């Protein structure tokens, strides 16, 4: 395994982070525990969850994923061997079953306390805001439309998170599904008022979604706020299984076709080109897709997810693959012809 540190800390994390959003829905507790056991054996020490998980989010299943991690921590006693990341859900129609108060001080306190109980731990290493409160271009929306109803509350949010840090409930903080303006506002507010600093940003990044490179990559590198890249496999599209027609009935897009972000014609066409490049170079599409993300200079860790141990092994083993300049040049030819087909 390869390791780095969370930016501006001495916390050592694996360059592969174990994602968990299928646990409790597509995966049982026993399967989640098996994935955790295997990942830890392979040197993965970084685990990501959220109060929203599993996805799709429902009132009945909310928090199941973290409970699975919590029962594993209790069973194994491995809390000191892993770095735990979790997230508070932002406001939205599909999170109303969790709460309707956004990132208010009481909401942040409640969310952290409930998550600690589910995880059966005294502290969370990295606590993230799952998406902004304000309406902005996120989750596949390309164009910005100004939100006239939102009032700036960056300072209030940081003070609430600061209180949780001082209480020892969380160690560090990050953002997710955030854009350059929001990221810089948090950094500005932290510096001006000596408040905790966002150290990571968890956004989508893959061969089909490279929009992070347009603005946020510079912010990431210059401000030392590391990307935790999620959906590097584009909901399995970059495994090649949908192109080849051998996806199982339990695959994500077969179970939940409404998750169409990576299912458009352009995304499928780009994936076919990437599959050809991978096969011509003796790689699987999954290996190439993950290796591409792993070696980007702004990526702190790549969040992988799997529904079985075979997939998990292939995903973790991607850390040992380095793409040469010739392969990268071929990838960029496709990217220039079909740029960011999945926003």
Q: Would you say residue 259 lies in a domain? A: no
Q: pTM for the whole thing?
A: 0.95
Q: Give the Cα separation of 185 and 152 in Å (integer).
A: 10
Residue 135: which CATH number? Answer: 3.20.20.100
Q: Would you say residue 329 lies in a domain? A: no
Is-cis flag, bond preceding 37, omega within 30?
A: no
Q: Would you say residue 164 lies in a domain? A: yes
Per the structure, the count of domains in the chain is 1
The separation between the first and the last C-alpha atoms of the chain, rounded to the nearest angstrom, is 31
Q: What does each of the 343 residues of the chain score in pLDDT, given as a tens digit?
A: 999 999 999 999 999 999 999 999 999 999 999 999 999 999 999 999 999 999 988 989 999 999 999 999 999 999 999 999 999 999 888 788 999 899 999 999 999 999 999 999 999 999 999 999 998 866 667 788 888 888 999 999 999 999 999 999 999 999 999 999 999 999 999 999 999 999 999 999 999 999 999 999 999 999 999 999 999 999 899 998 778 776 666 655 555 666 667 878 999 999 999 999 999 999 999 999 999 999 999 999 999 999 999 999 999 999 999 999 999 999 999 999 999 998 7
Compute how many other C-beta atoms are within 10 angstroms of the C-beta atom of residue 99: 17
Is 237 within 8 Å of 285 (Cβ atoms)?
no
Residues 6+ apart with CB under 8 A from 322: 291, 295
Q: Give the Cα separation of 294 and 320 in Å (integer).
A: 10
Q: Give the Cα separation of 178 and 212 in Å (integer).
A: 10
Is 157 within 8 Å of 109 (Cβ atoms)?
no
Catalytic site positions: 53
Q: Would you say residue 216 lies in a domain? A: yes
Domain ranges, residue 65: 3-234+299-319
Q: Give the Cα separation of 301 and 314 in Å (integer).
A: 16
List beta partners, residue 18: 47, 304
Q: Would you say residue 333 lies in a domain? A: no
């Amino acid at each position: 395994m390869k390791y780095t540190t969370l930016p501006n800390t001495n916390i050592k994390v694996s360059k592969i982070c174990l994602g968990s959003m299928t646990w409790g829905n597509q995966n049982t507790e026993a399967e989640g525990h098996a994935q955790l056991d295997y990942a830890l054996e392979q040197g993965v020490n970084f685990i990501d969850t959220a109060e929203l998980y599993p996805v799709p989010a429902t009132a009945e299943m909310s928090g199941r994923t973290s409970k699975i991690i919590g029962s594993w921590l209790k069973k194994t006693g491995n809390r000191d061997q892993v770095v735990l990341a979790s997230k508070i859900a932002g406001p939205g129609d599909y999170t109303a079953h969790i709460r309707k108060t956004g990132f208010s001080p009481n909401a942040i306190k409640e969310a952290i306390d409930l998550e600690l109980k589910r995880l059966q731990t005294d502290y969370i290493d990295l606590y993230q805001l799952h998406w902004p409160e304000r309406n902005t271009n996120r989750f596949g929306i390309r164009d910005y439309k100004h939100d006239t109803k939102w009032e700036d509350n960056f300072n209030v949010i940081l003070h609430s998170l600061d209180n949780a840090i001082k209480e020892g409930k969380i160690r560090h903080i990050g953002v997710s599904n955030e854009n350059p303006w929001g990221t810089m506002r948090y950094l500005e507010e932290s510096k001006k008022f000596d408040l905790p600093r966002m150290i990571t940003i968890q956004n989508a990044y893959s061969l089909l979604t490279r929009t992070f490179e347009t603005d946020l990559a510079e912010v990431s590198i210059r401000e030392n706020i590391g990307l935790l890249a999620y959906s590097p496999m584009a909901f399995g599209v970059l495994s090649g299984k949908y192109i080849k027609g051998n996806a199982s009935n339990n695959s994500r897009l077969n179970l939940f076709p409404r998750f169409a972000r990576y299912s458009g014609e352009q995304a499928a066409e780009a994936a076919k080109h990437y599959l050809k490049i991978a096969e011509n170079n003796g790689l699987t599409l999954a290996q190439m897709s993950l290796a591409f993300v792993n070696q980007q200079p702004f990526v702190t860790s790549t969040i992988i997810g799997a529904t079985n141990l075979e997939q998990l092994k292939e995903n973790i083993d991607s850390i040992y693959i380095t793409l040469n300049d010739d392969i990268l040049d071929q990838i960029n030819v496709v990217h220039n012809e079909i740029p960011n087909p999945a926003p």
